[in-house]
Amino acid sequence: LCSSKSYYRSLSLFLFLRSVVFSRFCSPCDIKELFCTATGLSRNTTISLLDSTGELFQNVLTQVAEQFSRAFKINELKTEVTNRLAMLEKRVELEGMKVVEIEKCRSDIKKLREEMASRNNSFLDDNKKLTPRRDVPSYPKYMLSQQTIDALRKPTFDVWLWESNEMLSCLEHMYHDLGLVKDFNINPITLKRWLLCIHDNYRNNPFHNFRHCFCVTQMMYSMICLCNLQEKFTQVDILILMTAAVCHDLDHPGYNNTYQINARTELAVRYNDISPLENHHCAVAFQIFSQSDCNIFANFDPEAFKQIRQGTITLILATDMARHGEILDSFKQKVDNFDFTNEEHVTCLKMVLIKCCDISNEVRPMEVAEPWVDCLLEEYFMQSDREKVEGLPVAPFMDREKVTKPTAQIGFIKFVLIPMFETVMKLFPQIEEVMVQPLRESRDRYEELKQIDDAMNEVSTGLRHPSVPESTTKS
């Protein structure tokens, strides 16, 4: 059982193995050592292991050991992969939590928005909406086409084609085009911010909204162009006319003065039932000017500001239709001997001009004008429905049971619009073709529509109450 350097002897050893357990780190050398120890041979003995069939066992053992090692490595890999999978699963779970959190945030934001919107509807919250939403106005700089610029000067301009941003750009253009920005050294960025703030302070009423503000101002611009008012008026007057038009319905709540007074709203109480809405529009306008970043009059000296303020207040207060007769009568007394150097005359004309623009929808082409009637009736019906619920008096012209589009328009065009525009026509004959003629056509069209309505009513009434005696039909 020994080997020596001098002579070689081959030794056969028979091992009967029941089971061998190798550790995962077991290498062929370890196995050899194990044999050497078990058999008492020295460690440097060359050992050839043969199995019972005489095949070399060594390689098999090596392979077994390697496979074991590989198997362990695979297990290790498996463990690692399992761990990583678990980690990923955990992360997915966490991301899932984030999704839930985002959803929660979204619903919170929505709730806040709704709350803010409902608060915006409440009256006389002095701090509301006066600050522009954005610091630097971010509405895109629209390059108005020459076609748009030309169309903007006419009462035929289609006011329904434009988004708010575009209307803002058009208003901005008017201030530049009339030379107001240059002549009064208005900061062009302040002009943008002011207009944006104006936009934000109109409510989304069916009728008294920012588009109505745009219409009135665009009609004023058209009249300034058509009647060459820049030749007759000072630039201060032009600035007052335009600014009063822009501001004239600010923060209109969608319910008229009659409602305010009958419902004894905060506005009616604040202004003692005297033109509550118009006083409010005006007050909001000057609250906006009191913010330096929206004050287009910042460069004016105090005297000039006083004049602009007084002029603007007078014009906005003149838009109360309760004062229609009084103002038109005063103008009629002056118009035959009108004197453009007389301040009282000029003020009265400016009041009539803003009144004309405020109710000028029917001057526009039929396709542009007609949707406004639907908007106005929607706002009227909203009011009369509320008045019925609150037990307040309901005006027949607002009652959905009594009014139709033709009946709403005919009287207004015949007895309010045409007489007023015909009076202005005495001073500016050029408005007859462009403004008065469309009013006459609109009146005729609505009279025709009314005849059709009446005929239809007769037919349906006839059907409900047949003239043939009942006894005859029954037999």
Closer of 322 and 459 to Zn ion (Cβ): 322
Rounded CA-CA distance 182/69 in Å is: 90
- Residue 456, sorted as left (phi over 0), alpha (psi -120 to 50) or beta, turns out to be alpha
Each residue 168-207 as x (binds Zn ion by CB under 5 A) or -, in order, gives ----------------------------------------
H or E element that contains 177: helix 164-177
Rounded CA-CA distance 200/206 in Å is: 16
Rounded CA-CA distance 107/127 in Å is: 26
Least CB distance to Zn ion at residue 319 (A)? 6
Rounded CA-CA distance 176/238 in Å is: 12
Closer of 248 and 309 to Zn ion (Cβ): 248
| Contact call for residue 320 and Zn ion (CB under 5 A) | no
Instruction: Give yes or no for a contact between 380 and 409, defined as CB atoms under 8 angstroms apart.
Output: no
Least CB distance to Zn ion at residue 110 (A)? 33
Instruction: Give yes or no for a contact between 449 and 405, defined as CB atoms under 8 angstroms apart.
Output: yes
Active site residue 208: yes
Q: Judged by CB under 5 A, which of 358, 362, 379, 387 binds Zn ion?
A: 358
Instruction: Give yes or no for a contact between 153 and 221, defined as CB atoms under 8 angstroms apart.
Output: yes
Closer of 220 and 335 to Zn ion (Cβ): 220
Q: Report how far apart, in Å, the C-alpha atoms of 350 and of each of 8, 180, 242, 320, 424 are.
A: 134, 17, 10, 14, 11
Query: Exactly one of 173, 176, 199, 208 is catalytic; which is it?
Result: 208
Q: Is 385 annotated as a binding residue?
A: no
Quick one: which of 229, 254, 320, 236 has its CA closest to 282? 320
| Segment contacting Zn ion by CB under 5 A, of 48-56, 228-236, 289-297, 354-362 | 354-362
Coil, strand, or helix at residue 424?
helix
Residue type for 94, please? L
H or E element that contains 307: helix 302-317
Least CB distance to Zn ion at residue 212 (A)? 6
Instruction: Give yes or no for a contact between 315 and 248, defined as CB atoms under 8 angstroms apart.
Output: yes
Closer of 249 and 387 to Zn ion (Cβ): 249
Q: Is 210 annotated as a binding residue?
A: yes
Closer of 191 and 357 to Zn ion (Cβ): 357
Least CB distance to Zn ion at residue 356 (A)? 12
Least CB distance to Zn ion at residue 213 (A)? 7
Please give the residues from 215 up to 254 whose contact with Zn ion meets the rule CB under 5 A. 249
Least CB distance to Zn ion at residue 102 (A)? 44
Instruction: Give yes or no for a contact between 384 and 400, defined as CB atoms under 8 angstroms apart.
Output: yes
Q: Is 324 annotated as a binding residue?
A: no
Closer of 202 and 300 to Zn ion (Cβ): 202
Least CB distance to Zn ion at residue 383 (A)? 15
Q: Is 209 annotated as a binding residue?
A: yes
Q: 50: which strand partners? A: 56
Owner of token pair 């506005």? 267
Rounded CA-CA distance 196/138 in Å is: 9
Q: Is 248 annotated as a binding residue?
A: yes
Q: Is 211 annotated as a binding residue?
A: yes
Count of residues in contact with Zn ion, rule CB under 5 A: 2
Q: 56: which strand partners? A: 50
Give the DSSP letter string of 351-374: HHHHHHHHT-GGGS-HHHHHHHHH
Q: Is 199 annotated as a binding residue?
A: no
| Segment contacting Zn ion by CB under 5 A, of 27-35, 149-157, 266-274, 357-365 | 357-365
Closer of 359 and 424 to Zn ion (Cβ): 359
Least CB distance to Zn ion at residue 142 (A)? 25
122: DSSP letter: S
Owner of token pair 């009144």? 355
| Segment contacting Zn ion by CB under 5 A, of 74-82, 170-178, 353-361, 422-430 | 353-361
Quick one: which of 348, 363, 336, 349 has its CA closest to 417? 363
Closer of 65 and 368 to Zn ion (Cβ): 368
Please give the residues from 143 up to 172 whose contact with Zn ion meets the rule CB under 5 A. none
Torsional sign, CA 325, 327, 330, 336: negative
Q: Using CB atoms within 10 A of its CB, is residue 395 exposed (0-12), middle (13-18) or buried (19+)?
A: middle
Rounded CA-CA distance 473/204 in Å is: 55
As annotated, the binding site for AMP includes 208-212, 249, 358, 409
- Residues in the site for Zn ion, rule: CB under 5 A? 249, 358
As annotated, the binding site for Zn(2+) includes 212, 248-249, 358
As annotated, the binding site includes 208-212, 248-249, 358, 409
Query: Which positions are annotated as active-site residues?
Result: 208
